[in-house]
Amino acid sequence: MSTTINAVADFRGTFKQEDTSDLLLKVTDFDGRPVDPSYLTCTIQGPTENASLETVSTGVPFQITQGFYVFSWKIGNTQDIGTYNVNWEYVVNSETKHEYQSIVVVEKVEAPTFYMSRVLAFRAALEYHIMCAQNIPVYSEQSKPSRDKRKFEFSFPRWNQSAGVKIYRNQELVNEGMEVNYFKGNITFDDTLLEQDVVNADYNFKWFSDDDLNRFLGNAVQSVNLFPPVSGYYLEDIPDRFIPIVLYGGAKDALRQLMMCLQFQQPAQIFGGVDESQKAFSNFQSLKEDYEKDWEKLLEVKKYGPYPRLQMNVVPEYTLPGGRSRWFRYLFK
């Protein structure tokens, strides 16, 4: 389907020179089910501060699993600093789509770890556990217009670009003359609309932001640290054997926040109103308790090691009559 709708790029992190940046793409249908495109490529251009954009990297991303892809960019030590545009182009059901992201390249200093490879992997794994909360479809929501009748706001931000969006003006589908901000969840028309015009949208959004997921994961790591024996791990260096504890801990915190949100009117509308949201609350409560039970069992196992084992071999030695001595050999395994 041909369209001239513009999209505001989502910011995906800061990376330093002489580093490798990993960019993730999740492709789903409108209802949030993962799908594999028949064609997929990723192109990085920039920096945008220059007069003309230069293509600095392009290629076919690596598939992690159905609907999840990663593209690694090896940044040179002389790469120009500045903002770079990332364009994912893919084809699903013979329809060409694009997802736009932006990243910033900085000098060889300590850059934030918010988008390190291991943190990305943790966030992607946590999203598996709360998949439906990260792919919520909304149908025909009526917008809230600005005073100038050009910008139209909707209830929820963090729209999934891969799921697409449909904009309706007076119940007629519109395919041009507007800009969509997927991150903030609003639409800006090129021209001023009439006072009587009504704008609706079908969109698919994430309940939790990347910052939310990082906080849940960070809290789970600190739980591991506090449980005996006390440790000092971070999300970047926690041993692999503790990954299930971190994921289950993050999932239960995510469910707890979602359950709290359901006590308020606007989020409750997603589940069909206050009465229906209370049924969802009860189901989430059972699911959260299951995660908590597994999480507590895994934490209990932490105290069993693995630890170094001490083995003592005693070798007697005899000297002259009336005297005797022993020496000890310690073997650590």
User: Rounded to whole angstroms, how far apart are CA atoms 332 and 327?
Assistant: 17
Residue 29's domain comprises 6-112
Asked if residue 256 belongs to a domain, the reply is: yes
Asked if residue 314 belongs to a domain, the reply is: no
> How big is the chain, counted in residues?
333
- The partner residues of 330 in beta bridges, in order of sequence, read 312
Q: 4 by DSSP, 3-state: which?
A: coil
CA 157 to chain centre: 15
Task: Tell me which DSSP letter residue 159 carries.
Answer: B
User: Rounded to whole angstroms, how far apart are CA atoms 47 and 82?
Assistant: 5
Domain match, 15 and 104 both = yes
- The partner residues of 188 in beta bridges, in order of sequence, read 151, 179
Task: Tell me which DSSP letter residue 277 carries.
Answer: H
Domain match, 108 and 162 both = no
User: Rounded to whole angstroms, how far apart are CA atoms 49 and 51?
Assistant: 7
Whether the Cβ atoms of residue 207 and residue 134 lie closer than 8 Å to each other: yes
| Structure-token pair, residue 32 | 């949030």
Whether the Cβ atoms of residue 150 and residue 188 lie closer than 8 Å to each other: yes
Domain match, 13 and 67 both = yes
Domain match, 231 and 250 both = yes
The answer for 261, left when phi > 0, alpha when psi is -120 to 50, beta otherwise, is alpha
What would the mean pLDDT of 272-298 be, rounded to a whole number? 86
Domain match, 168 and 152 both = yes
What would the mean pLDDT of 45-66 be, rounded to a whole number? 89
Q: Which residues contact 270 (CB under 8 A, 6 or more apart)?
A: 136, 138, 277
Asked if residue 157 belongs to a domain, the reply is: yes
Whether the Cβ atoms of residue 255 and residue 130 lie closer than 8 Å to each other: yes
Asked if residue 130 belongs to a domain, the reply is: no
Concatenating the DSSP letter of every residue in 130-145 gives TGGGGSEEEEEEEPEE
Domain boundary among 161, 187, 205: 205
Domain tally, the chain? 3
Angle between helices 243-261 and 117-129 (to 10 degrees): 60
Domain match, 140 and 54 both = no
Asked if residue 125 belongs to a domain, the reply is: no
Domain match, 192 and 244 both = no
pLDDT value at position 212? 93
pLDDT band at 277 (very low <50, low <70, confident <90, very high): confident
pLDDT value at position 14? 80
Task: Tell me which DSSP letter residue 228 carries.
Answer: S
pLDDT value at position 16? 82
246 sits in which H/E element: helix 243-261
pLDDT value at position 331? 43
CATH number at residue 42: 2.60.40.3720
pTM over 0.85: no
pLDDT band at 137 (very low <50, low <70, confident <90, very high): very high
